[in-house]
Amino acid sequence: MMKSGIFIFLFPLVAMSQEIFIKRLPDNINTKNTEINFIQKNDSTAYFTAITELEGKLISNIYTAKFANGEWRRKGHTKYSSNSFNTANIALSESEKGFFTIHSNEMRDCKIVYQKKNEQHGFHDISIFSSDKSLNTQPFVSHEKSHTVLYFVSDRKGGLGGLDIWLTIIDKDGKFGIPINAGNKINSSADEITPFYNKHNKMLYFSSNREHGSGGFDIYKSEGILNLWDKPVNVIEINTTEDELYITFYDENNGYFASNRQGANFERPEYCCNDIFSFKYSPPFRYTSKKSSKIHKLLPLDLYFHNDEPDSRTMNTKTNKTYKEAYISYFMMKTNYEKENSELGAFFEDVLKKNFNALNKVLETLLFDLSNGNNIELQIRGYASPLHNLEYNQNLSQRRISSVINYIEQFKNAAFKDHILSGSLIIKELPFGESNASEKTSDDANDKKKSIYSIEAMLERKIKIVDVILKE
């Protein structure tokens, strides 16, 4: 295992043409023990939790980090630490309270308490936790215009199984409301942990070991409020087959998470092994050409496929077929679809055929913009229905993108060839697979009327030409 920091450059998986840079924090922060929950307070100060082993027992404390000479460095225990109890998972409030988890030497015996920022000692119990025998941990405080919310993790009664994310509303007098489960869009029968509400994009981020993830704990995000959330989306540009936990944001594009991925520095994987990593999204670039704006009227554009097409039953990410071939074979199946559902015929004329013709208009306009000397990035996302497994569907979405790229390369006797070779046209591939699929779609292969021959499933089997971006 590498002991030095690693630097990861990922670019094909983030919407709005953002690149992401991931870097392990230095060895002064990350040791061979566990480091988690990095909270950046300002440009020079941050807090994090470190867990070590002492005489066979796990000891956790909250540490301060200072930023100097281009990197974070550990500076010692915070005032929130205690010699009597393990302390962890600090969550700073904009008020005079600093929320965090405190527990005894028994790791199960967790409860959430707070200490006022101007106090040197003393912890205050929270009434809703003081008489509760369940596990309560991993707090996060969110301040909205009309309310303050304490998110936390608990196995209390009323959950959906395992650990769930809960919340309590804090009123103006500092009183805590009755705990509310975040709901079945966020929580599952598996474990949902480490909540963080990002005020910049109004998304709740959390980790879960639910089915259909990348492996271990994955980071998810969901838009909504309180216990009303959209279906969570896997943050695939960060997740690996290992654990990704404790995501936090400092601003719109910068933040931190903990992971035991390759490059983490640890000795005892059976009980520890998380290191802290930073991430940085590049600011999104948008198309701002003054020479042509017609293409915006044609985008975004969805292009659809029959089930498993192009090239069924393969794990390849590339295909020799063009989208035109896939479109023609799909359109010829119109009669078969109508036999299953008479209402589906309109889809082939009003959507499938119409959008293929629109594709040619997009490419004509794109050629015009390139001929005017613009350097352009074309962003294409790929999707699949939930049928089959996660890996297959992600590869399938990549094949669908590949077929569209083949068509672009052959368009008008390879008119785009020189632009691609020179770099004036860059095609960015974003294979999302089934990650955004509607809950109305079916993954039951025996129920073809819902998994294949339903309008909901048909609308998931697609690529989306999202945007074009002017590159300087």
Encode pLDDT of 399-444 as tens digits: 999 999 999 999 999 999 999 999 999 998 888 877 666 667 777 8
Whole-number pLDDT of residue 263 = 79
Give the three-state DSSP class for 257. Answer: strand
What number of residues does the chain have?
472
Long-range pairs, 406-409, Cβ under 8 A, ≥24: 406/319, 406/320, 406/321, 406/322, 406/323, 407/322, 407/323, 407/324, 407/359, 408/363, 408/378
Please state the φ and ψ torsions of residue 158, each to the nearest 5 degrees. Answer: 100, 0
Q: Which two tokens stand for residue 92?
A: 């700073």
Q: What is the DSSP pairing of strand 425-433 with strand 375-383?
A: parallel
Whole-number pLDDT of residue 146 = 65
Q: Report the alpha-carbon distance of residue 131 to residue 117 in Å, rounded.
A: 25
Q: Which two tokens stand for residue 101?
A: 């988890």
Give the three-state DSSP class for 450. Answer: helix
Distances (CA, A) of 53 to 56, 57, 105, 258, 335: 6, 5, 12, 19, 67
Whole-number pLDDT of residue 111 = 84
How is domain 7-281 classified at the CATH fold level?
A: Tachylectin-2; Chain A (2.115.10)
CB 58 within 8 A of CB 49: no
Long-range pairs, 415-423, Cβ under 8 A, ≥24: 415/367, 416/363, 416/366, 416/367, 416/370, 419/370, 423/375
Domain at 294-471: CATH architecture: 2-Layer Sandwich (3.30)
List the end-to-end C-alpha distance of the chain, in Å, as a whole number.
40
Q: Report the alpha-carbon distance of residue 143 to residue 150 in Å, rounded.
A: 9
Give the three-state DSSP class for 362. Answer: helix
Whole-number pLDDT of residue 6 = 35
DSSP state of 438: -
Whole-number pLDDT of residue 343 = 86
CB 117 within 8 A of CB 141: no
pTM above 0.75, yes or no: no
Whole-number pLDDT of residue 430 = 85
Alpha helices by DSSP H, listed for 415-470, are: 417-422, 448-451, 455-460
**Of 251, 241, 310, 299, residue with least CA distance to 279:** 251
Alpha helices by DSSP H, listed for 249-389, are: 323-331, 334-340, 345-347, 354-371
What pairs with residue 58 in β-bridges?
Answer: 53
User: Rounded mean pLDDT of the chain?
Assistant: 85
Q: Report the alpha-carbon distance of residue 347 to residue 330 in Å, rounded.
A: 11
CB 220 within 8 A of CB 238: no
Q: Which two tokens stand for residue 134?
A: 């369940």
Please state the φ and ψ torsions of residue 386, each to the nearest 5 degrees. Answer: -70, -5
Whole-number pLDDT of residue 269 = 52
Domain boundaries, the chain: 7-281, 294-471
All residue ranges of the chain with pLDDT < 70 are: 1-18, 95-96, 104-108, 117-118, 120-121, 131, 145-146, 266-272, 283-293, 435-439, 470-472
- Residues with Cβ within 8 Å of 345's Cβ and at least 6 positions away in sequence, in order, are 334, 337, 338
Domains 7-281 and 294-471 share a fold: no
Q: Which two tokens stand for residue 130?
A: 């003081």
CB 430 within 8 A of CB 300: no
CB 61 within 8 A of CB 86: yes
**Of 91, 187, 191, residue with least CA distance to 148:** 91
pLDDT tens profile 173-201? 888 889 999 999 999 999 999 999 998 88
- Cis-peptide into 12, omega within 30 deg: no
Alpha helices by DSSP H, listed for 298-439, are: 323-331, 334-340, 345-347, 354-371, 390-414, 417-422
Q: Which two tokens stand for residue 246?
A: 């404790």
